[in-house]
Structure 1
């Protein structure tokens, strides 16, 4: 698959090249059309799949390119479920060392998924999801809600066990988004 751009900077996927014109597809709309070859330029190989990736929303692309493991994704989900949390509460409820947690929080903040906030009357440092982080998790949330009971999905020590009969009863709906998790457990000093 080759990516080309026309003289206006719009990117296309090259489907077929002939002597005078090329058949191209707009990756966002799927529309195909012929464009004169003298109006098309090749795009660097590093940027080949960029137009294809642009069909995924910007918040989800940010999430996918920033979060590289389940532990970090679990941290984001916990912050989404529990609201802003101070650093001590996060440390008490997870197995991250302080420097590992600091590194993850810094990366997530730099990517625009988290923002630092002051919590409580004593101004403790904490973190909450940004609008970008919330939109990204809302988009993928169905998958994380279904897997909420799995061992790897519980990174901050919360009890996520559920009843074995999860089928909706007569008159009920199957709404997994209403499942509430208990508050974080804290360790005694």
Structure 2
């Protein structure tokens, strides 16, 4: 399995190939079909597994890749359901030490899942639309 793209830049998973045609699958729709071999070019540097992951909507992928354990996922869920929260509240209300909390929040910010906000005059965090959409997809809301 390899990642290929057509002239428009659309990416596919190459499933099988012959001398003149290739069987490909669109990772986002799951649709399989055949394309002329000379219409496709290999995409270097992208794992076919990363291409296959495009079957999962982007907001859900962002949540999945940024939450490395259940505590991180729980923090994101709590921020979505009951937030925004101040950093002080998060330290008091969770079992996370300051460095773990700030590490998780930094990863969430880098992934576009939380943003800094003011909570009653203190620095706090709220979920972004991406986090809200991703969690909704994952919980079936």
TM-score by length of structure 1 reads 0.67
* Higher-strand-fraction structure: 2
Partner of 2:110: 110
Change (3 A) 1:91 1:23: same
Partner of 2:23: 23
Partner of 1:127: 125
Higher relative contact order (CA 8 A, sep 6+): 2
Give ranges in structure 2 of 5+ residues lacking alignment: none
How many residue pairs align between the two structures? 141
Deviations 1:142-188 (A, max 9, x none): 5xxxxxxxxxxxxxxxxxxxxxxxxxxxxxxxxxx9xxxxxxxxxxx
TM-score by length of structure 2 reads 0.88
Give ranges in structure 1 of 5+ residues lacking alignment: 143-176, 178-189
Cα distance in structure 2, aligned partners of 1:27 and 1:94: 38
Secondary structure of 1:49's aligned partner? helix
Measure how far apart 1:51 and its partner are: 3.0
Measure how far apart 1:54 and its partner are: 1.5
Measure how far apart 1:45 and its partner are: 5.8
* Higher-helix-fraction structure: 2
Partner of 2:7: 7
Residues 149-164 of structure 1: pairs in structure 2 closer than 5 A: none
Structure 1: 4+ residue segments shifted above 4 A: none
Secondary structure of 2:19's aligned partner? coil
Matched, 1:50 2:50: yes
